[in-house]
Amino acid sequence: MKVRDVMTNSVDWVTPDTSVVEVAQLMKNDDVGSIPVCKEDRLIGIITDRDIVLKVVAAGGNTNNISVKDVMSTDIISVSADQDVHEAADLMSRNQIRRLPVLEKGELVGILAIGDLAVEKIHINEAGDALSDISQSAHH
């Protein structure tokens, strides 16, 4: 089974100039902890709730004056829509991440969340293992 078969197609994304307040509101509305950052239909980064907390709030920054480009991560781990879901589950586990941007020719076409893998019974063990690995490392 391919990533495209289980990924979420509708993905909210932001630009590098979006304020972190707007991103936080989008995260709240979508009930997610990370949002892709795109420029001219190209994925250039990702911003997480952790980025906002550690790089803005904990640093005493003024959330009104800080934009995504100031705190986003640019070392993006992603998958292609044609990749096998087993490879994606392994990538999530190895890199301790819950959501992977899905790209086609460099363009963002979806998001693969760990929950998407659990939809298929065959992948429930992999998703569970990946989530277990992610959760354990968060406590270290």
CB count within 10 Å of CB 132 equals 11
Give CA separation, 122 vs 8, 85, 128, in Å: 18, 10, 11
CA pair distance 24, 29, nearest whole angstrom: 9
CB count within 10 Å of CB 28 equals 10
Number of domain units in the chain = 1
Model confidence pTM above 0.85: no
Asked whether the beta carbons of 54 and 40 are under 8 A apart, the reply is: no
Q: Which residues of the chain have pLDDT under 50?
A: 122-124, 139-140
Which CATH number does the domain housing residue 45 bear? 3.10.580.10
Give CA separation, 2 vs 5, 44, 58, 72, in Å: 5, 24, 40, 28
CA pair distance 89, 87, nearest whole angstrom: 5
Q: Which domain holds residue 35?
A: 3-138
Residue of 96, 107, 87 whose CA lies nearest to 41 = 107
Q: Is the dihedral of CA 29, 33, 110, 20 positive or negative?
A: positive
Asked whether the beta carbons of 134 and 50 are under 8 A apart, the reply is: no
Give residue 127's identity as a one-letter amino acid code.
A
